Amino acid sequence: MNTLILVLRLLHIVSGAFWVGSIVLAVLFIEPTAKAFGATGERFLAHALFRMRLLPILVVAATVAIGAGAAMYWIDSGGLRIEWITTPTGLGFTAGALAALAAYAIALIVLKPQFDRLATLLDKPPAGEVEAPSSQGRPEIDEARVRRWSLIQVSLLVFAIAAMATARYLP
């Protein structure tokens, strides 16, 4: 059992750190910088998400973190025993897990369809190579919605980390 817990913890922590760190970096720094560069920045984001495969890699990292976390939660709770779940430790892990699951759902349900629209930019020539640049043919992306939900996602992930990091030490 110790080897299983060790493997699950490594998978959970390493993939979770990559997932959360990448999202925080992207939302707080890369996305605003890309926005400042206009159409060139949009192409940069499209390239990073789809050609460099960042989007599917983040989905895999998040899925591994959640899966390993769920397995550890099952083991720690003795099969979801309510007596453990309602302890301070159980409540801390539960709150963190729910926050991470909400962030995951936001990414897949709200944000991914918006980002998929960016992929169409990769099939078009850069703005400088077309005869008459215009907004026609640009993907319809609700930037305010993406920004709002991205910040909510970051907040949920930071809360999840804080809750899980302190759960075992709650009085």
Say what angle helices 2-25 and 143-166 make with each other, to 10 degrees: 150
- Buried b / exposed e over 14-48, threshold 16 CB at 10 Å, is ebbebbbebbeebbeebbeebeeeeeebbbbbbeb
- Quick one: pLDDT at residue 132? 43
Q: Which domain holds residue 36?
A: 2-128+137-169
Query: Which residues neighbour 28 within 8 Å (Cβ) at sequence distance 6 or greater?
Result: 154
* pLDDT, mean of residues 138-148: 84
CA distances from 67 to 61, 74, 124, 127, 150 (A): 10, 11, 38, 42, 22
Tens of pLDDT, residue by residue over 124-135, are 777 665 544 445
What is the pLDDT of the chain when averaged over all its residues?
A: 92
Mean pLDDT over residues 14-34, rounded?
A: 97
Pinpoint the alpha helices (H) of 77-142: 82-85, 88-105, 112-118
What pLDDT was estimated at residue 115? 87
Q: What is the mean pLDDT of residues 16-39?
A: 96
* Mean pLDDT calculated for residue range 23-43: 94
Is pLDDT at 147 greater than 90 in this prediction? yes
The pTM of the full predicted model, rounded to 2 decimals, is 0.89
Dump pLDDT digits (tens) for 4-22: 999 999 999 999 999 999 9
Q: Which amino acid is at 120?
A: T
Per-residue pLDDT at 141: 80
DSSP state of 171: -
pLDDT at 133: 46
Instruction: Please determine, for residue 106, whether its predicted confidence score (pLDDT) is greater than 70.
Output: yes
Res. 57: pLDDT tops 70: yes
pLDDT of residue 118: 84
Q: How many domains does the chain have?
A: 1
